[in-house]
Structure formats: C-alpha cells, structure tokens
Amino acid sequence: MAITLELTDELRTIRRHLHAHPERSFEERETTAYLERVLRAHGIEPLPNPMATGVVAQVDGNSAGPLIGMRADIDGLPIQEDTGLDFASRNDGVMHGCGHDLHMASLLGAAFWLAGHRDRFAGSVRLVFQPAEELGRGARAVIDAGLVDGVEAMVGTHNNPNYAPGTLAVGAEPMMAGCVRFSVTLDAQGTHAGYPDKGTGPLEAMASMILSLQTIVSRNASPFRPLVISVTEVHGGDVWNVVPAHAGFQGTVRYFHREDGDMAAHRFRQVVQETAHAYGIEAHVDWDDFEPPLASDPRLAAAVAGDVPGYARLEPIRPSMAGEDFAEYAEVAPLVFAFVGSNGQPGCADWHSPRFVGLDVSVATGAAFYANSALRVLECLR
C-alpha cells in the first residue's frame, strides 16, 4: 500500500526557515550547515563531501540491496522577493523563487520516514542535496565529485505552481527542455558614420541574422514538436557618429528532442556564417548545449506512477520549456522525475517571478513521492 505522509509542524518550520534564508548558487553555506544539523537530529549522518556546499547522506535498509539516489536542489535566485509572506527572504536580493525550499523540505520528510522504517526496505537510499541547479552546473559538480558513483537509479522532483496541491505528474514523456546558451561575436571594419562606404559595419548584419534565425523554427522544425530560439541580449556601438567595429548578441535555444537540438545548431551556424559572409564581416559562434532534455525511464516511471493514486491525484504531464540539470544524472543511472503541484490558483506567479508562492501543503505530496518512489524503485532493481 502507498505511504501517505503528513505536513508536520517540523516540516513546515523547516520549509519556512529555508525560504527565509536563500543563498545563491555555489554559495549555499548556511543552507548546507542547516541541512546537516537537521539530518543529524534524525540520526542521519552526512557523508564526506569534497564540495564546498551541498549535503550527501545515506539511509540504509534492513539488508543489502540496490543503491538509489534521491535529489533535491538547494540554491536560490538573484531576485528581490515581493510576495508579502511573513517568512519572506531575509537575504536582500536573493529569493527561493523556484521553490527549492519546498524540494529540500520534501526530501527531508522522506528521509525522516525512511530512517524510521528501515525494516521496510532492502538496499540504500542516498540523499543528495545538490547546489547550483539554477546555473545548470550543480549536477555535473556532484557527478564529478563521485558522490553518486554506484547509484543504480535517481529520483527527483520539481514543484510546479501550474498544478494544484495534492496533484502530481510523472511519466515517460519529455518533461523539461534541453537548454542551449549561445553567443555570437561579430568583427568588422569600423568607420566614421558619415563615411559608411569606408567600413564594414556589423549592425545591419546583426539585424539580418536575428530576423533570419527565427525562420529555423518556422521553416525547419516540425510544428508538432516544440522548439524555441530566443535572442535576449544585443550590443554594438557606444558613440553616435561611429560605425562600430564589433557587435554581438546572445540568447537561448530550448528543445525536447535531440535531433531538433542538432538541427538548430547546424542551421544557426549556417545562418550566422553565411550572413556574415554576405556583409563582408567575421562571425564567431559559441554554442553551449549544457543541459539535455529531461525524461523519465519508462519502466521506472510506470512503476512509480502506479502508486500515486494512493497518496495524490495523478495528472497528465504538461511539459515545461524551462531546463533542469537533473537530466545530467542520466549518464550515471536511469531517472524518474515528477512535477508536484504547489499552487494551482488562477493567475498565480510562475517560477522565477518575485511573486512566486509555493504552498506549504505541497511538501507533504513531495515527501510522499520521494518515500514511495524509494521503495518502489528499490523493488524494481532487485
């Protein structure tokens, strides 16, 4: 039977403390110390960690068996909170605007239950409180530090304010997008603005590139598969009467299928380089495809989803164009990931908004997902 966990006063207090004390990526020192204290208070000893921030611990069952990992991210965002909550951020310019405080409290709730019910499972559950998800670099740091070596499956969640509390979405479909960060640098021959014929200014070329890049989606991608190319920053020139010698722009690409990401990379370079050639300038493209799309292992997702009706309402997956570095763990072990409903009210703010509010009650659903998934995934791997 599925495990149902309650939102205890302790978990509510933990969540609100974490929300009020957010820290930026790779700077989560107080958060790390707090998590270690809470785990030790429940008889869970943190493992050695070569990283400056983040916590890894382990709960062992009643006998030997598989080793699985469960991850919660711990970093906040460089946002000034504007929620009016009485437990709003006390750290100026930093906010848990993506709900990582909910994730930490949920994983702690599951850890407390597992530590008190070791007789219910064989094997081991490694608890990974990961730094720097917002930079897309934290999972890679954990992997490189060897902290998930030997793990045979990884379990993760992300709260989602577009789902109501008490609901959960898990399945085999892509859930969060692959992420690319691109930048383009243009080098030309600057000149006096009154003598444009004596130079090869980059601004017209840049404008043509930005407009042409939008045709990659409209003319090369299937209308049935989401692909986004967004130019988000442009720069060039700083004097009113000088055609600049240099300019550039940067932005992001989001995709759900590897072949779409590869196609976008090829066409992007083609558009930029051929446009630069037509204008007689040089172009350099930096294409950082740093985060793959996130999808659960079909077998694990089906097994975990079967338990959900015992403690939450199972909802269809509504994919997000946001990225999630939990996808990096797929190179170590199969993954299972869920969206946990955290608000659901009409007009509520979404992730990364200064007015984002995740509700306390969602911690109980997240904790139940972690605990039930731990038992089910360990069973599947035996």
Residues contributing to the annotated binding site for Mn(2+): 98, 100, 134, 158, 352
Tokens 């094997």 appear where? 123
142 Rama class: left (phi>0) / alpha (psi -120 to 50) / beta: alpha
Residue 206: strand, helix, or coil: helix
Q: At what angle do helices 29-41 and 100-116 cross, to 10 degrees?
A: 20
The pairing of beta strand 55-60 with beta strand 124-130: antiparallel
Per DSSP, 2 falls in state -
**Secondary structure element (H or E) that encloses residue 243, with its range:** strand 242-243
The H or E element spanning position 260 is helix 258-279
DSSP secondary structure of 156-203: EEEEETTS-TTEEE--SS--B-EEEEEEEEEE---EETT-GGGS--SH
Q: How many CB atoms lie within 10 A of CB 377?
A: 26
DSSP letter string over 313-348?
A: EE-----BSS--GGGGGGGTS-EEEEEEE----TT-
Contact at 8 Å (CB) between 202 and 249? Answer: no
What is the rounded CA–CA span in Å between residue 231 and residue 211? 10
| Binding-site entries | 98, 100, 134, 158, 352
- Name the helix (H) or strand (E) containing 108: helix 100-116
Radius of gyration of the chain from its Cα atoms, rounded to whole angstroms: 23
Give the Cα separation of 87 and 44 in Å (integer): 27
Instruction: Return the SS3 of 51.
Output: coil
Q: What residue type is 10 in one-letter code?
A: E
Q: How far apart are CA 240 and CA 54, in angstroms?
A: 49
